[in-house]
């Protein structure tokens, strides 16, 4: 399937990943891209002039039918979510995203959509396999027996099953990717929904600007994660959507680091050394999580490969520019 010659709908287009996806599709030559988000335009991370931009609440059934009308490919990225600080304290809000997923699947089925891409998450994985920082990389089958992240993870796992059964029962071709910690420029870096890479960049910029060379780290700092740069994520989304992969698949980097090592990287980029304090009561998520990329390499002959140091340099530069612009404005 070639996406560029089909009408494409991006749900959640005002968000970080959705905004990058819309821009990428237009750059690839897509001639009809409909971009939908619940936020007012001024709050979109990116607003592409070449897209049909619409503000709609996709938790509402009729809004989904309006969005899907005339579309052949749907990317369902819309969700009420954020970093660990948000999802641990807003479990009900996270689970309500199932309304958008359900209504969007129904609208896609009834509107003759050819392919439906669903953005799932590594939060679907069984928590008992993530209790140690040196945890073995997660394979796709490790989602069962089910014990996902409470709230957000359950919503994602349930919606994966809906995609499976809509394909089985209604022949709606679905593709499901489990994102692992996506980061990069033009994302949220403050306000409570930011993820660890952006939050650490913000804290380092603040420490450097104010001269208070201190940083608070959530948890012990020994938690391990892999982080995927946005360019790898967008490439993977398109490749998976266009492929014949009919099972949920990991989309993430396999470059594992501790949170302390992530701070080391940002300190080196910024040219500072900070005193660290550890907030052991703050949300910290699982102790260890990494992406096993065996299947995506088998299917696509590719895996996310942008080095964390390189992606963080671009991310830090962008966040620093945004913060310094406010100071000088």
Q: Which positions are catalytic?
A: 152
Determine which helix (DSSP H) or strand (DSSP E) holds 36, and give its type and residue range.
Answer: strand 33-37
Contact 179/234 with Cβ under 8 angstroms?
A: no
What are the structure tokens assigned to 221, written together?
A: 């700092």
Burial 23-38 (b: 16+ CB within 10 A, else e): bbbbeeebebbbbbbb
DSSP-derived secondary structure for 69-110: TT-SEEEE---S--SHHHHTT-HHHHHTHHHHHHHHHHHHHH
Bridge partners, residue 45, by sequence: none
What are the structure tokens assigned to 314, written together?
A: 């671009």
């Amino acid at each position: 399937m070639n996406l560029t010659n089909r009408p494409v709908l991006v749900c959640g287009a005002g968000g970080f990943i959705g905004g990058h996806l819309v821009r990428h599709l237009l750059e690839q030559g897509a001639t009809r891209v409909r971009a939908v988000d619940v936020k007012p335009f001024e709050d979109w991370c990116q607003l592409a002039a070449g897209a049909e931009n619409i503000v709609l609440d996709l938790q509402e059934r009729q809004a989904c039918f309006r969005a899907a009308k005339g579309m052949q490919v749907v990317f369902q990225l819309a969700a009420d979510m954020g970093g660990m600080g948000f999802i641990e304290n807003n479990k009900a809000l996270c689970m309500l995203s199932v309304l958008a997923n359900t209504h969007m699947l129904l609208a896609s089925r009834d509107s003759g959509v050819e392919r439906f891409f669903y953005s799932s998450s590594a939060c679907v994985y069984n928590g008992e396999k993530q209790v140690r920082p040196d945890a073995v990389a997660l394979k796709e089958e490790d989602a069962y027996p089910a014990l996902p992240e409470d709230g957000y993870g359950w919503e994602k796992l349930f919606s994966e099953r809906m995609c499976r059964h809509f394909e089985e029962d209604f022949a709606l071709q679905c593709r499901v990717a489990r994102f692992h910690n996506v980061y990069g420029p033009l994302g949220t870096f403050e306000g409570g929904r930011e993820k660890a890479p952006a939050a650490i960049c913000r804290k380092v910029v603040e420490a450097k600007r104010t001269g208070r060379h201190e940083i608070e780290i959530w948890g012990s700092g020994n938690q391990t994660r892999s982080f995927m740069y946005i360019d790898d994520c967008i490439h993977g989304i398109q490749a998976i959507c266009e492929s014949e992969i009919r099972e949920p698949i990991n989309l993430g980097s396999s470059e594992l680091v501790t949170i302390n090592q992530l701070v080391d990287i940002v300190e080196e980029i910024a040219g500072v050394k900070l005193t660290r304090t550890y907030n052991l009561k703050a949300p910290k998520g699982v102790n260890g999580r990494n992406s096993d990329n065996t299947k995506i390499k088998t299917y696509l002959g590719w895996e996310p490969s942008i080095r964390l140091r390189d992606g963080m340099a671009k991310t830090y530069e962008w966040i620093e520019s945004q913060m310094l612009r406010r100071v000088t404005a």
